[in-house]
Structures are given as C-alpha cells and as structure tokens.
C-alpha cells in the first residue's frame, strides 16, 4: 500500500437512517434540572450581554419556547426584568436585563462552574443517540471501500481483509515495517462511511458539565450552525435539537503523546467543568492509536484499559467526586505499530484485538504503481527504463526491500535539488542517487 496524495476525504450524499434529535418544547422535555438551565441562562446573560429570547437561544441552543419558560421563572424570582422592545420594527422582541439578584445568581453560578454555552443533554439522551448512530450500523461493501482507497495503492488481498474488519466495528491492529502506509490506511477508512451523526455540545452528569463537541476533532456538516449565535427566527423554528451538531463521523488520531490520563475525564480546575476524553470525542467514529508502543506507558497497560470496553461495549468514567458512570463504547479502535506485536502485549491482550493485519513491504509491481502515481502528482515524467535503473543501481546493490514511502521521499528531494541547482524540473538520476543516500544512515 502506498499513499501518493495527502488529506482525508468523506463521502457525499449520506444516507442517514436515523432521525436527528428533536428539539424539546419545554424545560421538562430537556430532561435537565430547571435550576441548571436557570443558572446557565443567568451566566449567559451576564457574560455575553444577550438580552432577547432569540439571542439567548442562539447561545444556549434551546428553542424560543423553552427560553421563554426559563425567563418567566427568572422573573418570578426577581432575577430579570423586562426592558422594553428591542426596536420599533414588526419583528421587535422584548429585551430583558439582569436585576441585582440576577447578577448575584450569575456570579454564584460562575463560582460553581464557568460553563456558559449550549445547554447540555442528559446522559440517557447521549447514550441512546450513540446506540442509534452506531458505527456498526453501516455496512461497507467492496466498491465503497475501493472508492475510499482511490488515492492509495492497496492490493486485492488487503482490501479483502480490511473490509470485514471495518464492518465488524470492533478493533484492529495494523502492524509491519515503517513507511508502508499503516497510518494512511487507518485514516482513509473513514472515507467509506456515509452516515452523518449528531454530537452534543455537552452532557450533564450528576450536576456536572462535560464538554464533548470539539472543533479540532469534529467536522460539522453545516459549520454556520455551530457558529451562529444570533438566534434568528429561522433557526428558532427548526425541529432539530440545536444542542446537537450534525457531523461527519470523527477521526481521532493520537501517537506517542498518548497517556492513560487522556482517556479519563479532564477536569479544568479554573473553569470547573470537564472535557470529554479522546474515546468519547471519537464516539461513532474511528479512534487511531498511532505509533503504538512508543508511548510513555507500557503498551500492555494501554491495551488493558480497553479490555472491558471492547468486550462489553461499555466504558466507565469517574467524576472527581468519585461518582462513576457508564457510557456506550462505540468506535473502531485501531492500533498501528511498526514494532512486533508479540513484543508489546501478551497473548491475552492480542486475543482481544479482533483483526490483526500485517502491512508488509510491497512487491515491485505495487512499488512501481506508487512511483508512477507520485510522479504524476508532482507533475514529473517517468522516462522509459528509469525504474529498471533505480532497481539495478540503487535497490539491488544494497539489498534493500521496496518500501512505499521511498518514491515520495526520493522524488521530493529530487525537486528540491532541481531548485537548488537551478536546473530543469525533471527526474535526474544523479539527484535520485543523492536522495537514496539520504534515506539511510551509516553504522
């Protein structure tokens, strides 16, 4: 397998068989404690300066009827007061301002936690949604997988092994010598998925807020829906629950920086709310542990962390209070390593990884496909006989196996030398010799 073009693509025209979460019409339908919503609204008004139902709704992502119910309760408690119409226009709205007691309420709420964004969903609602949009609900057929790997060189045998692994939606280990496309295969897998899913901005557990939606990880289908805070009449009239963001299935990739702490809830001691761990951000998508075996923690300890989630389909997380809760574990967990697996984890750990796929050195025929594809990508012509020369002059004398990263490495260095020597932009044999030398170190 060889990669000749960068980037991760996603299929268009998704066929999503499940309904989007429907917008609640009352505080009761949110499933949340009314005082939590009241405190959130006071914080939003205090920090953001929003003063109409539409503007408040744009921040807390709740429908106008729910926000009006919250403001009515706030008025009964002397937290807010009406300030008059926002304008003389036909669509004028009532403006609301915080009273002294409302500002005090907001300050006390901020002392408890500084979360002031979209209203959270409940744990039950999140769990139900994860199950409804499970990655296992998509059946990937061969043509779809072939399309996903259209910018890669993948053998027929490899496609035959990857397809069932993807459809199992369990766990996978990609292993083999470096530079042959394990990471490229892992990330390209998500091109095969078409369903859009729904990611909540946050979830509430035992009165605590856990933020989940992450702009660095999740790719919204309609980015303006996330950015919009104006609370337009059109948005207020939507049936879909705006606390959820319609997204492509996520891809979360971590490497040597991964620690066991990153797999637990992350508590911000200043903001006093939590951030979801990596596996929760990867829910209903792909979670890739790249360079497995090069983390500070023992590989066996990392695998042991996944034994219960992989076997039971449930992950267990803990709040600082000691309160534990479970949540569905639903993602394609993929390990990628160039270290022999048996030197990393024991047999019991390997048994729990359902698909173990070796990505080895390619045959010459596949290596040539990668070379031609990379040359085309760089707008370089491969003259007749050039690849025979590369094999006879470079590979054979050194007894070096073909590797999929070699063509990209050599051709890019060839171009760098063309620029340095101010010569024609083409493949020069002398430059390839130098690039070949740069591939290796001496003893």
Task: Taking each helix axis as running N to C, give the angle between helix 34-48 and helix 53-60, from 0 to 180 degrees, rounded to the nearest 10.
Answer: 110
Q: How does strand 208-211 pair with strand 94-98? A: unpaired
pLDDT at 235: 52
- At 90, is the pLDDT very low, low, confident or very high (cuts 50, 70, 90)? low
pLDDT at 412: 97
pLDDT at 13: 43
**End-to-end Cα spacing for the chain:** 29
Is residue 97 within 8 A of residue 247, CB to CB? The reply is no
When mean pLDDT is compared over 3-7, 52-56, 152-156, the highest value belongs to: 52-56
Which residue's structure tokens are 């083409």?
Answer: 426
Beta partners for residue 95, in sequence order: 52, 84
- Please give the Cα distance from 325 to 376 (Å, whole number): 53
H/E stretch holding 46: helix 34-48
- Please give the Cα distance from 237 to 231 (Å, whole number): 10
Q: Is pLDDT above 90 for 239?
A: no
Averaged pLDDT, 163-192: 88
- CA angle, residues 261, 264, 267, in degrees to nearest 5: 90
- Non-local (6+) Cβ contacts of 25 within 8 A are 63, 65, 66
Rg for the chain (alpha carbons), in Å?
Answer: 27
Q: Is pLDDT above 50 for 95?
A: yes
Tell me how far the alpha carbon of residue 30 is from its chain's centroid: 26
pLDDT at 348: 86
- Please give the Cα distance from 246 to 20 (Å, whole number): 8
- At 349, is the pLDDT very low, low, confident or very high (cuts 50, 70, 90)? confident
Please report, rounded to a whole number, the percentage of residues in the chain having pLDDT higher than 70.
Answer: 92
Is residue 179 within 8 A of residue 403, CB to CB? The reply is yes
Is residue 207 within 8 A of residue 392, CB to CB? The reply is no
Buried b (16+ CB within 10 A) or exposed e, 183-197: bbbbbbbbbbbbbbb
- At 341, is the pLDDT very low, low, confident or very high (cuts 50, 70, 90)? very high
- Please give the Cα distance from 362 to 368 (Å, whole number): 10
Could you list the beta-strand ranges (E) of 370-429.
none
pLDDT at 223: 82
- At 232, is the pLDDT very low, low, confident or very high (cuts 50, 70, 90)? low
- Non-local (6+) Cβ contacts of 111 within 8 A are none
Q: Is 398 buried (19+), middle (13-18) or exposed (0-12) by CB count in 10 A?
A: exposed
Please report, rounded to a whole number, the percentage of residues in the chain having pLDDT higher than 90.
Answer: 74
- Please give the Cα distance from 110 to 205 (Å, whole number): 18
Q: Is 370 buried (19+), middle (13-18) or exposed (0-12) by CB count in 10 A?
A: buried
H/E stretch holding 2: strand 2-3
Instruction: Choose among 337, 351, 328: nearest CA to 293.
Output: 337
Q: Is pLDDT above 50 for 442?
A: yes
- Please give the Cα distance from 39 to 246 (Å, whole number): 27
């Amino acid at each position: 397998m060889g990669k000749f073009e960068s980037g991760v693509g996603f299929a268009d025209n998704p066929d999503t068989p499940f309904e989007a979460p429907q917008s609640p019409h009352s505080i009761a339908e949110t499933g949340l404690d009314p005082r939590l919503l009241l405190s959130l609204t006071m914080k939003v008004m205090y920090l953001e300066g929003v003063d109409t139902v539409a503007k408040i709704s744009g921040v807390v992502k709740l429908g106008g009827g729910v926000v009006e119910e919250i403001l009515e309760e706030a008025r009964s408690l002397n937290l807010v007061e009406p300030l008059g119409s926002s304008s003389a226009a036909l669509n004028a709205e009532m403006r609301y301002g915080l009273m002294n007691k409302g500002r005090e309420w907001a300050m006390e709420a901020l002392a408890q936690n500084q979360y002031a964004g979209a209203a959270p969903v409940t744990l039950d609602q999140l769990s139900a949604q994860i199950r409804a949009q499970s990655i296992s609900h998509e059946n990937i057929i061969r043509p779809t997988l072939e399309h996903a790997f259209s910018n890669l060189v993948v053998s027929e045998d490899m496609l035959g092994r990857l397809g069932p692994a993807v459809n199992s939606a369990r766990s996978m280990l990609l292993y083999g010598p470096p530079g042959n496309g394990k990471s490229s295969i892992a990330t390209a897998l998500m091109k095969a998925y078409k369903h859009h899913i729904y990611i909540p901005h946050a979830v509430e557990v035992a009165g605590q807020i856990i933020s989940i939606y992450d702009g660095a990880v999740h790719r919204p289908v309609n980015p303006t829906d996330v950015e919009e805070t104006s609370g337009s009449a059109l948005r207020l009239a939507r049936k879909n629950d705006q606390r959820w963001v319609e997204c492509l299935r996520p891809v979360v990739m971590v490497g040597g920086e991964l620690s066991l702490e990153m797999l637990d809830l992350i508590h911000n001691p200043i903001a006093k709310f939590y951030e979801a761990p990596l596996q929760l951000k990867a829910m209903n998508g792909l979670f890739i542990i790249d360079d497995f075996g090069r983390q500070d923690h023992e590989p066996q300890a990392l695998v042991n962390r996944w034994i219960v989630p992989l076997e039971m389909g449930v992950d267990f997380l803990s709040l600082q209070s000691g309160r534990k809760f479970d949540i569905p574990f639903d993602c394609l967990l993929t390990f990628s390593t160039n270290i022999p697996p048996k030197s990393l984890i024991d047999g019991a750990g390997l048994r729990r990884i359902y698909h173990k796929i070796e990505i080895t050195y390619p045959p010459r025929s596949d290596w040539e496909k990668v070379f031609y594809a990379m040359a085309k990508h760089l707008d370089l012509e491969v003259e007749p006989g050039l690849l025979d020369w590369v094999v006879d002059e470079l590979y054979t004398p050194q007894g070096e196996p073909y590797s999929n990263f070699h063509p990209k490495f050599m051709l890019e260095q060839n171009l760098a030398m063309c620029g340095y020597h101010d010569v024609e932009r083409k493949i020069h044999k002398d430059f390839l010799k130098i690039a070949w030398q740069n591939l290796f170190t001496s003893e």
